[in-house]
Amino acid sequence: MKAKCKVLQVYWGNPKHRYRLGREWVESSPEEKDLGVLLDEMINMIWQCALAAQKANCIQDCIKRSIASRSRKVILPLYPALVRPHLEYYIQLWSP
């Protein structure tokens, strides 16, 4: 049970108390990933934004490499289906 638990201190002036689960101390962590969202102790989303943009760019490059036709009719439906969902998943965090 203890292996699944970590403490993420998210306040700048926090004295960083230590916590116990039963008799064992819970490990503190500078960043944690929950539901695919990476949070650090400063609640900084810059890395998360960069990772989402990088993932979308990789998928876009894959589309460019794998699709022989450059027709709008072929390419245009691929972006909303493959690239856009990666960006929309994180938009709720960037601008709720």
In a domain, 23, yes or no: no
Number of structural domains in the chain: 1
pLDDT tier, 96 (very low <50, low <70, confident <90, very high otherwise): low
The pLDDT of residue 86? 80
Q: Do the domain assignments include residue 5?
A: no
Spatial CA neighbour of 91 closest among 58, 48, 61, 54 = 48
Distance of CA 88 to CAs 23, 53, 75, 82, 95, Å? 42, 11, 19, 11, 11
pLDDT in tens, 42-88: 776 677 778 888 989 999 999 999 988 888 898 889 999 998 888 88
| pLDDT tens figures, 4-27 | 788 777 766 767 788 888 888 888
Which domain does 40 fall in, by range? 29-94
6 to 11, 34, 49: CA distances (angstroms): 16, 12, 24
Asked whether the beta carbons of 8 and 33 are under 8 A apart, the reply is no
Query: Residue 20: inside a domain, yes or no?
Result: no
Residue 93 has pLDDT above 80, yes or no: no
Decide if 16 is inside a domain: no
